[in-house]
């Protein structure tokens, strides 16, 4: 039975099944005719606001928080559905001639006038764990809602630069530190709304910590046994921090 991914912004609709939250099935909720949907194996994604009537068992839940409830494969499907819906609702008109776009495939739209095809956007961004001996750099970004949380330096990749160049630039711009030995850790699709996060580690190479551009308000080097409030899972920043606390970079000093 196909499961429904009813999403919008940063939320998803779940069913309370005897105290257990799960994804609704296609025969449990009626999606109005004409609603834009995206179908991939086992799932159908649709905007949560398109549904007018919900069963009483429905619960509107935070997409990020659903990671703690849904199995990993279902959470990743929900994240993909959210990205597709967010993209579809923001990519409405052709940037060349202004005509309204039409669906061309499950992952594209096409302009009926000029024929140009549009695909879901991805914004590449990096997060980096800067290591200084047994300590790691954790910072508070001005965009974080919780003033106590400290996380990794992060930033968007700019046109014309490699990922490694982006790592060094972001660290320099935001903290005035120099780093060396930049190493790739792993990546993560992040549907808030359509980022592709790429994680790195790097070694401190010099400089005094200074927050010059206003994007970071505080921070410092912390040891594994003296940590501030950390970002929640399943963010890639937290995954990298936990890998460091588990000693997976012990030979990287």
Mean pLDDT of 215-238: 92
Mean pLDDT of 73-79: 94
Q: Phi and psi of 33, rounded to 5°?
A: -60, 140
The first and second tokens of residue 250, run together, are 């012990």
**What is the spatial distance between Cα 174 and Cα 214, in angstroms, rounded to a whole number?**
8
Residue 33, pLDDT score: 87
Question: Over the stretch 17-66, which tens digit does the pLDDT of each residue have?
Answer: 999 999 999 999 989 988 999 999 999 999 998 888 888 999 999 999 99
Closest CA to 28 of 1, 63, 67, 46: 1
Residue 9, pLDDT score: 72
Mean pLDDT of 116-133: 95
Mean pLDDT of 183-195: 91
The residues spanned by each domain of the chain are: 3-90, 123-245
The first and second tokens of residue 57, run together, are 């068992």
With contact defined as beta carbons under 8 Å apart, do 209 and 139 qualify? no
Residue showing tokens 């530190």 = 177
Residue 253, pLDDT score: 62
Q: Phi and psi of 50, rounded to 5°?
A: -80, -20
**What is the spatial distance between Cα 231 and Cα 237, in angstroms, rounded to a whole number?**
7
Closest CA to 129 of 206, 186, 79: 186
Residue 60, pLDDT score: 92
Q: Does the pLDDT of residue 192 top 90, yes or no? A: no
Residue 127, pLDDT score: 97
With contact defined as beta carbons under 8 Å apart, do 208 and 133 qualify? no
Non-local CB neighbours of 250 within 8 Å, separated by 6+ positions: none
In CATH terms, the superfamily for domain 123-245 is Nucleoside Triphosphate Pyrophosphohydrolase (3.90.79.10)
**Picking from 68-72, 127-131, 159-163, 248-252, which range would have the lowest pLDDT averaged per residue?**
248-252
- Average pLDDT taken over every residue of the chain: 92
Quick one: pLDDT band at residue 160, thresholds 50, 70, 90? very high
Question: Over the stretch 200-221, which tens digit does the pLDDT of each residue have?
Answer: 999 999 999 998 777 888 999 9
Q: Phi and psi of 199, rounded to 5°?
A: -95, 145
């Amino acid at each position: 039975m196909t499961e429904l991914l009813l999403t919008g912004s940063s939320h998803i609709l779940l069913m309370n099944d005897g105290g257990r939250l799960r994804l609704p099935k296609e025969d449990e909720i009626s999606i109005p005719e004409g609603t834009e949907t995206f179908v991939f194996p086992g799932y159908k994604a649709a905007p949560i606001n398109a549904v007018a009537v919900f069963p009483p068992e429905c619960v509107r839940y935070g997409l990020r928080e659903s990671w703690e409830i849904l199995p990993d494969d279902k959470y990743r499907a929900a994240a993909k559905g959210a990205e597709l819906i967010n993209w579809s609702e923001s990519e409405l008109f052709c940037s060349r001639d202004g005509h309204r776009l039409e669906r061309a495939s499950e992952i594209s739209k096409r302009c009926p006038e000029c024929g140009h095809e549009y695909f879901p956007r991805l914004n590449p961004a990096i997060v980096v764990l800067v290591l200084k001996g047994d300590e790691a750099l954790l910072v508070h970004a001005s965009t974080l809602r919780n003033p106590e949380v400290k996380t990794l330096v992060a930033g968007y990749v700019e046109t014309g630069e490699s990922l490694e160049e982006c790592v060094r630039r972001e660290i320099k711009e935001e903290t005035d530190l120099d780093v060396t030995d930049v190493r790739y850790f792993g990546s993560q699709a992040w549907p808030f709304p359509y980022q592709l996060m790429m994680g790195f580690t790097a070694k401190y190479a010099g400089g005094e910590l200074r927050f010059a551009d206003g994007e970071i308000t505080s921070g410092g080097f912390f040891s594994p046994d003296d940590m501030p409030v950390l970002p929640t899972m399943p963010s890639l920043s937290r995954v990298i921090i936990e890998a460091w606390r588990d000693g997976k970079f012990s030979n990287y000093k």
